[in-house]
Amino acid sequence: MVASSHTRAANQEVHSALPFADQTDFENARRGFIADSPNRVITNPDGSASFDLDAYGFVRDNPAPDTVNPSLWRQSQLLAITGLFEVADGIYQVRNFDLAVMTFIRGRTGWIVVDPLVTAAPAAEALRLVREHVVDLPVVAVLSTHSRADHFGGIEGVADRADVQSGRVRYIVPVGFVEESVSENVLAGNVMARRASYMYGNAVPAGPAGSVGAGLGPSTSTGSMALFPPTDIVDRTGQELDIDGVRFVFQYTPGAEAPAEYCFFLPDHKALCMAEIASHNLHNVYTLRGAKVRDALAWSKHIHEALMLFGDDTEVLFASHHWPTWGNAAVREELVGQRDLYRFIHDQTLRLANQGYGPAEIAEMLTLPEGIAGRFANRGYYGSVNHNIKAVYNYYLGWFDGNPANLHPLPPVEAGTKFVEYAGGADALLERARADFEAGEYRWVAEAVNHLVFADPANEQARTLLAETYEQLAYQAESGPWRNFYLAGATELRHGVRAVATPTAAQAGMVSSITPDLFLDALAVRLNGPKAAGVAGRIHLFVGDEAHTLELSNGALHNNHGATGRADATIRMSRSALDTILVGGAIPELVAAGEITAQGDPAPLQALLGNLDDFEFWFPIVTP
């Protein structure tokens, strides 16, 4: 679909408002280039594609088309610059081989690897590039700065689990890292991963009318993910470690971008790594894939603390995404801008909330000051001012805006049916919506026609108009995830749900780190409570030699450590059986194979094992 005149005008307005003639970011993104990978499609061991380094090559050296916000196009051009770069003496990065950036620090005897990407294949290719073009040394330590999968999932590409377990390779993470890494991807893992397929445009073809990347990075790789137990824990600001002869000073920064996170300063290099706390975009206070809302105030305070601790001594600033910044004045300017960005959004949202405005109103009222918004590093390529304002409101006040009309609204199908009835029927609604579409009222058309699609999902005229509307909204979006959401919705309206490769935490390399406690909490989420509500009982569960007690009561499943009290039944399974369940293995098959044994009263066992829901991953999002 082509960009409408309204979309072209909106994108031209963006181009006129920002300093596109400034080439500093492009100079920094190319600075220190050493080599690029000749393997333009990085493959997994089974031959499947993990990551295509040229997937977004069409953005290189081409002006922004009418179908892409010019600010997002510029960001995508920067993210299409791939390869190995020298950051400072002894510090190197391989950039844009995945969603994140991978950093290599030369130690006395080997490489210190920081944030080994989403999956193993791109991480291994990055290490190969460093060994070929800098020096062939073993990996002696791996650091995961925080508990997001793009900063630990590819660890098998740079280190063996046995070497980490033996201590031959140190693995250094923030306190709470393992718990947070697995918990975010388990209890709500299915729906979160499904929504992530929208956020990263997994089902949207790359191209000027399709996906142009994620803003934070090009996109996510697919393949083998793993999570290793750490050897070293960072739990406080000021903690120092000597890692293979390199001095690290850590800043502990939990509860903002990630629940478990640290930054670090390298005093001998005058280099500061801000992990994902500060990068060249406005990040997510709430991520559209779904996760717990983050603390924008803590976020700003962490950046302010970094300025106080390291600002005067830093000559190069780098992070887990994007490109570095050189020179103390430029470093301080970037950190000040990022600090002010999150603090402004936090404070001004609450200022207006305290005046009685709701989240949707505040998101329309607030604009960033020119001193913040005029810098490309603060633009909403990943997060957005609009949805981050709503996130701050939600963090303090929850989903309800205080208006009783919004306290108990009808669900989408029922509301859609009534909306269409009020509009005078489907034909009348479509006639008005088409007129509004021609007038460029895309946000309203999306709201109105969405009601018709949920009332009558078989109405092809409605689906087509809504898809066209989403496409125009995508073409105007500055945020990569917003664009991908709109385009994924349009694709699904036109073609239905289509299964494509997408990262998921349900892999053998990940589930081995999931504790039985978390497994039992996940099992409770799968229990169909209404069906099991009529049966009560207590079950002793043994996972290997580890004992747990399950209590089934009123359709709820509780658990605690130890085989406590009287049990109606006993279940025994090996740890391998538990891992099989976590990656999708069927419990009845494990029972038939003798991997799970059960004794005692069959009623609570049947109520539990016979009423577990299986979650379909490719559920519809834009239709009922």
Quick: pLDDT tens for 55-109: 999 999 999 999 999 999 999 999 999 999 999 999 999 999 999 999 999 999 9
Q: How far apart are the C-alpha atoms of 516 and 504, rounded to whole Å?
A: 20
Q: Give 22: exposed, middle or buried? Use CB within 10 Å, 0-12, 13-18, 19+.
A: exposed
Q: Which residues pair with residue 59 across a beta bridge?
A: none
Report the percentage of the chain scoring pLDDT > 90: 82
Residue 502 has pLDDT above 80, yes or no: no
Q: How far apart are the C-alpha atoms of 449 and 467, rounded to whole Å?
A: 10
Phi, psi of 441 (to 5 degrees): -90, 60
Q: 594: domain CATH number?
A: 3.30.1050.10
Q: 366 is written with which tokens?
A: 């607030």
Distance of CA 7 to the CA centre of its chain: 28
Mean pLDDT (whole number) for 320-328: 98
Last residue in a domain, options 375, 396, 417? 396
Could you tell me if residue 477 is inside a domain?
Answer: no
Could you tell me if residue 403 is inside a domain?
Answer: no
Q: Are both 527 and 385 inside the same structural domain?
A: no
Q: Given its phi and psi angles, is residue 565 left (phi above 0), alpha (psi -120 to 50 degrees) or beta?
A: left
Tell which wins on pLDDT, 588 or 570: 570
Could you tell me if residue 492 is inside a domain?
Answer: no
Residue 297 has pLDDT above 60, yes or no: yes
- Return the amino acid letter for 156: E
Quick: pLDDT tens for 234-273: 999 999 999 999 999 999 999 999 999 999 999 999 999 9
Could you tell me if residue 433 is inside a domain?
Answer: no
Q: Given its phi and psi angles, is residue 21 left (phi above 0), alpha (psi -120 to 50 degrees) or beta?
A: alpha
Contact assessment for residue 473 and residue 461, using Cβ atoms and an 8 Å cutoff: no
Domain that holds residue 583: 515-609
Give me the residue label for tokens 């920064």: 253
Contact assessment for residue 179 and residue 606, using Cβ atoms and an 8 Å cutoff: no
Could you tell me if residue 111 is inside a domain?
Answer: yes
SS3 278: coil
Could you tell me if residue 421 is inside a domain?
Answer: no
Last residue in a domain, options 364, 380, 396? 396
Could you tell me if residue 266 is inside a domain?
Answer: yes
What does pTM read for this prediction? 0.94
Handedness of CA 341, 342, 343, 349 (dihedral sign): positive
Quick: pLDDT tens for 436-468: 999 999 999 999 999 999 999 999 999 999 999
DSSP class per residue in 62-122: -PPPTTS-HHHHHHHHHHT--EEEEEETTEEEEESSSSS-EEEEE-SSSEEEE---SSHHH
The number of domains in the chain is: 2
Mean pLDDT (whole number) for 598-604: 83
Of 107, 113, 109, 108, which is closest to residue 94 (Cα–Cα)?
Answer: 113
Q: Which residues pair with residue 41 across a beta bridge?
A: 52
Report the percentage of the chain scoring pLDDT > 70: 99
Could you tell me if residue 46 is inside a domain?
Answer: yes
Half-sphere exposure of 413 (CA within 13 A, CB side): 6
Mean pLDDT (whole number) for 24-44: 97
Q: Are both 379 and 521 inside the same structural domain?
A: no
Mean pLDDT (whole number) for 548-567: 91
Q: Are both 241 and 371 inside the same structural domain?
A: yes
- Tell me the C-alpha to C-alpha distance, in Å, between residue 612 and each of 295, 447, 573, 609: 35, 36, 17, 6
Last residue in a domain, options 396, 426, 443? 396
Q: Give 572: exposed, middle or buried? Use CB within 10 Å, 0-12, 13-18, 19+.
A: middle
DSSP class per residue in 166-230: HTSSEEEEETTHHHHHHHTTTTTHHHHHHHHHHHTTTTS-BSTTSB---SSSS----S----PPP
Q: 180: domain CATH number?
A: 3.60.15.30
Q: Are both 392 and 527 inside the same structural domain?
A: no
Q: How far apart are the C-alpha atoms of 465 and 450, rounded to whole Å?
A: 10
Q: Which residues pair with residue 551 across a beta bridge?
A: 538, 558
Q: Give 525: exposed, middle or buried? Use CB within 10 Å, 0-12, 13-18, 19+.
A: middle
